Structure 1
Amino acid sequence: MSATGVRTAEWIVTDLDGTLVGRDLRIVAANLAALRRFTGAGGSVVVATGRSEESALPYYRELGLATPAILYNGARIVDLSTNAVLYRRCLGAAAWARLTLLFDEMPDGVWPVAFSGGRAHVRSEPAALAEYARRDRITLARIGSWGELPFDEIIKVMLICDRPELVGAAETALAGFAADPGTGVTLVRSEATYLEVLPAGATKGTALRELAALRGVPMDRIAAIGDNPNDLDMIQAAGLGAAVGDGDPGVRAAADVVVADCAAGAVADLVARVMP
């Protein structure tokens, strides 16, 4: 509970999976109730997720939000009520062209998904991709070749792996590509079996700074919470950075506070700390 007896944050910025949303893909009941109490007291809630518009929208609606959402791990800020894009980054055309060649060098069991035009595009649909689509509540668009997509409109690429150990192998296969300053990409692990290729500078923290400046909200009046490495710079950028109790050890070590486990109401715990 806030020691001052007043609300100490104007915004709560929350990751979805493993933070607000449990393993059953539902918003943890305690978190939902707490965020409604926070907004009822005049606070604002911002979703910051690796998910796309299609995938994030059901949670946005359940929360009853009217704030813009940080999507694609910071590559987009979108007003989901109008689909207006407030901030955007894309992979460079040359980087995308090189990346499509590297797909053939990926270990067996690593499956690319390319996001463009608000859709997730795939060349095949193995079990790992079917499960990913089910989990994220999205429809996969099957294409015949990567060349069918516009070279200058690729938002991000996800590499979905059959097993956690393949993430490291995929990262190794892309190491030279990602290290080349001319490539302009960032690699980030967003789940145990997900490796994402993002435009350089596209992070949740960068997008949060952009959105806060756009809305005139000081960073020290923002509390942010997450569980995985893709949340780290967002947590560090906020005035109060919280890590989920059963989240990544590196995120817990870097956070200002460690709150409850996801299933125990991590976001509700954070709300209690910033509310009177």
Structure 2
Amino acid sequence: MPPTALLALDLDGTLLGPQGEVPPGLSDELRAWAGAGAHLALLTARGRVPPEVQGWPLHTVTRCYGAWVEQAGQALWSWFLPEATVRVATEAIPLADRRVGKTLLGTADPGGIVRGPQPGFETSWPQARAVLKIVRGDEPARLDVLAARWAALPGTGLIRERSTRLVLVRAGADKGAALRHLTAHLGVLRARVVAAGDGPADAAMLPHAGLFIRVGAHPALAGAALRAGCPADVPGVLAGVRVRLLRCPA
């Protein structure tokens, strides 16, 4: 039997406040969804799952958007950047820029994250096997130039998290693809898929959710059916959706 619903949630800015705080009542509300037979999925850009989520009734976690999808401790699928692509992408960052910006390689092993521009960064990345994403933080103008270079790399996708942060992933390793594949894997109808997010990377989930909760006011999520002003409002909004969708008491 498929789950009664699929609840797909972004983490930072959606479930966690600006200081990483967990809103009161969130854990209880997530447990209520799980108790009603819903499948809970955390779709995060992070390379590792933070301790704040320990104890949450999560069934599936995606890291680095959708590049790594894990269920019950086992990887469902993983989309790595080829080593040749990582080499070309890092070489596309001028040496002078590396000294002022910050580069991060997120790997399949959360403990294997490699950061630049420490000495030897250009030669240390081959030891970080199975790279899931490359994150570059820099001034907007320099990132605009780098985005044009990275866009020319075949088989990749670009995510501009904000004006000062650019992310390179394998093509298809986004939250929308992760939600679409997970929905098909679970056999859940799109009408019973509820997603929530607060930023442009979360907009990829909009076409694949029967109901989307926009947290905050980012214009990329203007098509969302519901809105929560901030993470503190999310438990209440989720409770209302649960009562209507799953017909269970608040």
| Equivalent of residue 19 in structure 1, options 14, 18, 25 | 14
Q: Secondary structure, in 3 states, of the residue corresponding to 2:16?
A: coil
User: For the Cα contact (< 8 Å) 1:112–1:160, is it kept in 2?
Assistant: yes
Structure 1 equivalent of residue 83 of structure 2:
93
Question: How far does residue 145 in structure 1 lie from its aligned partner after superposition?
Answer: 2.9
Structure 2 equivalent of residue 210 of structure 1:
181
Structure 2 equivalent of residue 266 of structure 1:
234
Distance 2:115 2:82 in 1: 19
Structure 2 equivalent of residue 184 of structure 1:
155
Structure 2 equivalent of residue 256 of structure 1:
225
C-alpha distance 33-194 of structure 1, shift in aligned 2 (>3 A): farther
| Equivalent of residue 154 in structure 1, options 117, 131, 135 | 131
| Equivalent of residue 105 in structure 2, options 114, 123, 131 | 114
Letter in structure 1 aligned against 2:218:
D
User: For the Cα contact (< 8 Å) 1:12–1:45, is it kept in 2?
Assistant: yes
1:66-114 residue CA offsets vs partner (Å, 9 max, x unmatched): x1211101111013x52x2211111133321111112226376420001
| Equivalent of residue 219 in structure 1, options 181, 185, 190 | 190
| Equivalent of residue 51 in structure 2, options 52, 58, 68 | 58
Letter in structure 2 aligned against 1:236:
P
Q: Secondary structure, in 3 states, of the residue corresponding to 1:22?
A: coil
C-alpha distance 15-37 of structure 1, shift in aligned 2 (>3 A): same
Structure 1 equivalent of residue 212 of structure 2:
241
User: For the Cα contact (< 8 Å) 1:18–1:247, is it kept in 2?
Assistant: no
User: For the Cα contact (< 8 Å) 1:159–1:194, is it kept in 2?
Assistant: yes
Aligned residues: 238
Q: Secondary structure, in 3 states, of the residue corresponding to 1:103?
A: coil
Question: How far does residue 193 in structure 1 lie from its aligned partner after superposition?
Answer: 4.0
Structure 1, unaligned stretches of length 5 or more? 1-8, 126-142
C-alpha distance 27-170 of structure 1, shift in aligned 2 (>3 A): farther
CA-based RMSD of the aligned residues comes to 2.5
Scaled by the length of structure 1, what TM-score is found? 0.77
Scaled by the length of structure 2, what TM-score is found? 0.84
Q: Using the TM superposition, name which of 30-39 and 226-235 deviates more.
A: 30-39
Question: How far does residue 191 in structure 1 lie from its aligned partner after superposition?
Answer: 4.8
Distance 1:274 1:64 in 2: 16
Structure 2, unaligned stretches of length 5 or more? none
Same amino acid, percent of matched pairs: 27
C-alpha distance 192-18 of structure 1, shift in aligned 2 (>3 A): farther
Distance 2:104 2:203 in 1: 23
Question: How far does residue 256 in structure 1 lie from its aligned partner after superposition?
Answer: 2.5
User: For the Cα contact (< 8 Å) 1:49–1:73, is it kept in 2?
Assistant: yes
Distance 2:107 2:40 in 1: 27
